[in-house]
Structure 1
Amino acid sequence: MTSLSVETLAAAAAPITSAGNAQLGTAVLAGIALIILLITRFKMHAFLALTIGSLALGVFAGAPLDKTITSFTAGLGATVAGVGVLIALGAILGKLLADSGGADEIVDTILARAKGRAMPWAMVLIASVIGLPLFFEVGIVLLIPVVLLVAKRGNYSLMRIGIPALAGLSVMHGLIPPHPGPLVAIDALHANLGVTLALGVLVAVPTVVIAGPLFSRYAARWVDIQAPEALTTAPSEAPDREHRPRFGATVATVLLPVVLMLVKALVDIVVDDKANGLQKVTDVIGSPLIALLAAVIVGMFTLGRAAGFTKARLSVTVEKSLAPIAGVLLIVGAGGGFKQTLIDAGVGQMILDLSKSWSIPALLLAWLIAVAIRLATGSATVATISAAGLVAPLAAGMSTTETALLVLAIGAGSLFFSHVNDAGFWLVKEYFGMTVGQTVKTWSVMETIISVVGLGFVLLLSLVL
């Protein structure tokens, strides 16, 4: 896991304000309220809203402006340094997967083997595999046309096919690194990435089954609609099937970084000797940077060259993959700056002090904080980053497993009840041609199920591990 030395030093320093708990609590509420107002009422970009909200938080807490600026910039820099390269590598891998036709090959191969009642399970499998290297919004754009085509050609209820696909994407986004939210939470809480990934998979599998194929039965009854005609034309940008990469090679490339990180986690558990040669090797190849870099390099051959891409075409694909993530990097970085401002103002310690009298388990407290920020801001990533900053002191003294579960509890909370202040809500509504009420009864309820069920399995694991 990447070590954020700047953040560590800042967190260990004296608070930048001497405000009491009441003033700090008011400052936090005011800062978050300002961010919500700027994003929802004034339609301000989340990067600017988080920046202004961080500075306002410092002012409301009575901190000197220069120290607030220092905290924000240190948090922004440390966060981008820790996860920026990983986000970029994930974007490149996702673009290679889409442009080469590898994603289409996965979809077509699985759908050719799935019929009737097996179709929802096939859709959740497709979404989960493709969702590993892709951002949520990119995954939706990639999968929704396929969902609509499958629903139309097979005469399925759109919700019966669509909900499993959305559940697969959402669970990957909220719980599984290398997605930005989980990565930042892992850094903030100094959790072990491999252990978090392994436990995240254990939580994700039953959660996506319940929120996807099982819930889709009820969603299809509540909202029985057909695929919109205007969006059911087949995509034509990817190569034809004869020039696509093979199914096995595509899946192996997508899963390569996950396998490398899991191998590192297993060796760390079994060997637990930093002087051991095997552990030294797995520490290198299983680090997120090397694992994702290896997948990108392998993908250039197994995906790009297999699809007939020239060196120039590969270069263009990489270049086009990086431009769209500029906004993501800025939002994630500003979220890290907001988180560091919370930490340096002493808000994390305030939460720690108050939680002692609340007698609320740390995992539940972390989930509740993430839920509150998710409902307020509409962003799962912002909720994860901010909640991680608030509960960071709770991770002190925790075991490796407990810290990993704390990350997953935050991730589960960040997915709770998507509604009108979430861009994903409107994306799903428009693609599926639903009303606001129909979107709430399907998409919003599904997100809530993921959040609650995910927390349930996290608490269950905490009892047995």
Structure 2
Amino acid sequence: MTTPTLLLAAAAPALPHTDSDGQLLVAVLVSIASIVLLITRLKLHPFLALTLGSAVLAVLARAPFDKLLASFATGFGSTVAGVGLLIGLGAMLGKLLADSGGANTIADTVLARTGRRGLPWAMALVAALLGLPLFFEVGVVLLIPIVLLVARRGNVPLMRIGIPALAGLSVLHGLVPPHPGPLVAVDALKADLGVTLAFGLLIAVPTLIVAGPLFGRVAERWVGPLEPPTEAAPAADTVPHERSPRFGAVLVTILLPVVLMLGKALVDVVVDDPKAVLQRIFDFVGSPLIALLAATLLGMLTLGRAAGFTKAEISRTVEKSLAPIAGIVFIVGAGGGFKQTLIDVGVGDAVSTWAGTWHISAILLGWLIAVLIRLATGSATVATITAAGIVAPLAADLSTSHASLLVLAIGAGSLFFSHVNDAGFWLVKEYFGLSVGQTVKSWSVMETVISVTAIALILPLSLIV
């Protein structure tokens, strides 16, 4: 947790709350229902919906309004301090990757060395690599033209390579930091980022295999013969580049933050001495802020300069990357405010009591709560933030490994069955030229396969570590 986060958390007021667990349960359900209705029926922006939902929660839990405002502001500030910088750096790196042609370099290199049978696996790999630094929506815009082109040139059914590509992006989005959802959950549950990243990659690989290339063949039969749309998918907002960066340079840039954060986790386990010079070095360079900052600065050279960009063009590219994420940062911050309100009115303590009474593991409970919120709101990020806030007190008694697995369980639940209230549903439908029914049979079921496969791997792993 960053220093600003610690200061804000220390200033968090304790909201007076009712002693009735039943009233707290009603308050939680009504507040979540109000957020759902505001987003789905009134089409209110999730930032405003989460803010108003926090007020509803506090009113029903009989919390004073002055304490409510302080609690919400504390949660908002601590979340943005802990996650906002990382989202910004990730957006910069993703924009550099897109504008420089680095994304196409990865795709062209992998696909050039793959036969027709290996195309689904190649597309899953390409999507996974691109999914490390890119937000899901940006990844879709970059990948769709490649998928359509490969399907036409290779005479391959669209679903056979489209599903692996979408699965690669979605699995990384839900399970692997530095994506906003996992980062927020790591911050809320006080989990170790390096351990979460290591477990996330461990779970992501088999999950991607099942939900990508393997399910792609099933989706192909369910959807039926499908010709790739002749019109090109919407192109990303990129600036012209003279040449593309080399594959090796792009790969090193993308993987640098992952290697640094995993290196920190490994040194923490092997050395386990806070005073050791090696551990202090890796604690610094392996922190997510420094790791992403290093990758972004490196990307300016290996991506921007390698593509022939001038210093001014690199500066403009970085500047353009920040505007689209303003909404994401505010949504994440409001989710943090809602999470803090949940904690301060005593919901977390009540959930701890219920979990003990029902004998449900924290990991399974986190997944179930995230599933319900995902189905209701359609937003994976909102589902992750809210579920993390509800089960946060349970993480205090968990080991480092189990806290990280709880983060992944919530992330897995947040991907469950995307349907008509999810923007991603319509994005996939329009880009692939599918009907609503075909989108449900392919995209929606694929998301469910990811969610169920991931939790099916997480639960037995929690019995081992």
- Into which bin does the TM-score normalised by the smaller protein fall? over 0.9
**Amino acid aligned to 1:216:** G
Distance (whole Å) between structure 2 residues aligned to residue 230 and residue 309 of structure 1: 29
Q: Structure 1: which amino acid aligns with 2:355?
A: S
Contact map agreement 2:142 2:236 (CA 8 A) in 1: no
| 2:259 aligned residue | 259
CA deviation digits over 1:245-269, x for unaligned, max 9?
A: 1000001000000000000000000
Superposition deviation, residue 56 in structure 1: 1.2
Task: Identify the residue that residue 98 of structure 2 maps to in structure 1.
Answer: 98
- Structure-to-structure mapping, 1:61-210, within 5 angstroms: 61-210=61-210
Task: Indicate whether 1:413 and 2:413 are aligned.
Answer: yes
Q: 1:275 corresponds to which letter in structure 2?
A: K
Q: How many residues align?
A: 463
Which secondary structure does the structure 1 equivalent of 2:118 belong to?
Answer: helix
Q: Partners in 1 of 2:30 and 2:429 — Cα distance?
A: 31
* TM-score between both structures, scaled by the size of structure 1: 0.97
Separation (CA, whole Å) in 2 of partners of 1:230 and 1:115: 25
Q: Distance in 1 between the 2:98 and 2:153 partners?
A: 22
Q: Which amino acid aligns with 1:111?
A: L
- Cα deviation, 1:222-245, whole Å, max 9, x if unaligned, reads 1121111122699895657x7111
Gaps of at least 5 residues in structure 1 are none
Letter in 2 for 1:24: L
Q: Secondary structure at the match of 1:62?
A: coil
Shift in CA distance, 214/168, structure 1 to aligned 2, threshold 3 Å? same
Report deviation, 1:156.
1.4
Distance 1:239 1:342 in 2: 47
- 2:34 corresponding residue in structure 1: 34
In structure 2, list runs of 5 or more residues that go unmatched. Answer: none
Inter-partner Cα distance in structure 2 for 1:254 and 1:239: 21
Query: Cα distance 1:235–1:27, how it changes in 2: closer, same or farther (>3 A)?
Result: closer
SS at match of 2:182: helix
- Give the Cα separation in 2 of the matches to 1:239 and 1:312: 14
**Structure 2 SS opposite 1:273:** coil
The more displaced of 134-143 and 60-69 is 60-69
2:10 & 2:236 partners in 1: Cα distance? 50
* 1:447 aligned partner: 447
Partner deviation per Cα, 1:73-126 (whole Å, 9 max, x = no partner): 111111000010000000000000000011110011111111211000000000
Mapped contact 1:152–1:227 kept (Cα < 8 A): yes
- Over residues 250-309 of structure 1, what are the superposed CA-to-partner deviations in whole Å (9 max), with x where a residue is unaligned? 010000000000000000000000010000000000000000000011110000001111
Q: Is the 8 A contact 2:133 2:178 kept in 1?
A: yes
Q: Is the CA contact (8 Å cut-off) linking 1:6 and 1:74 kept in structure 2? A: no
Contact 1:145 1:235 in 2 (8 A): no
> Residues 70, 158 of structure 1: CA spacing in aligned structure 2 closer, same or farther, 3 A cutoff?
same
Structure-2 change in CA distance of 1:237 and 1:59 (3 Å): closer
Q: Per-residue displacement from partner, 1:309-336 (whole Å, max 9, x unpaired)?
A: 1110011001000110000101111111
SS of match in other structure, 1:230: coil
Partner of 1:54: 54
Check 1:14–1:234 CA distance in 2 against 1; reply closer, same or farther (3 A cut): closer
Distance 1:120 1:23, change over 3 A: same
Could you list the structure 1 runs, at least 4 aligned residues long, displaced by more than 4 angstroms after superposition: 232-240
Q: How far apart are the structure 1 equivalents of 2:323 and 2:237?
A: 22
Query: What's the counterpart of residue 456 of structure 1?
Result: 456
Could you tell me how far 1:433 is from its partner in structure 2? 1.0
5 Å-filtered alignment, 1:388-403, equals 388-403=388-403
Which moved further from structure 2: 268-277 or 360-369? 360-369
User: Which residue pairs with 2:365 in the alignment?
Assistant: 365
2:231 aligns with 230
Identity %: 67
CA–CA distance in structure 2, aligned partners of residues 126 and 435 of structure 1 = 26
RMSD (CA atoms): 1.6
Give me the TM-score of the superposition, normalised by structure 2. Answer: 0.97
| Corresponding letter in the other structure for 2:134 | L
Could you tell me which amino acid in structure 2 is paired with residue 137 of structure 1?
E
- Cα distance, 1:167 vs. partner? 0.4
Q: Is the 8 Å Cα contact of residues 335 and 385 (structure 1) preserved in structure 2? A: yes
Q: Does the CA contact (< 8 Å) of 2:249 and 2:302 recur in 1? A: yes
Residue 309 of structure 2 aligns with which residue?
309
Instruction: Name whichever of 143-152 and 122-131 sits farther off.
Output: 143-152
Q: 1:346 to 1:161 in 2, by over 3 A?
A: same
- Matched residue type, 1:333: G
User: How far, CA to CA, are the matches of 2:227 and 2:339 in structure 1?
Assistant: 43
- What secondary structure is seen at the aligned counterpart in 2 of 1:117? coil
Q: Which amino acid aligns with 1:348?
A: G
Single out whichever of 353-362 and 279-288 deviates more from structure 2. 353-362
CA shift for structure 1 position 41: 0.8
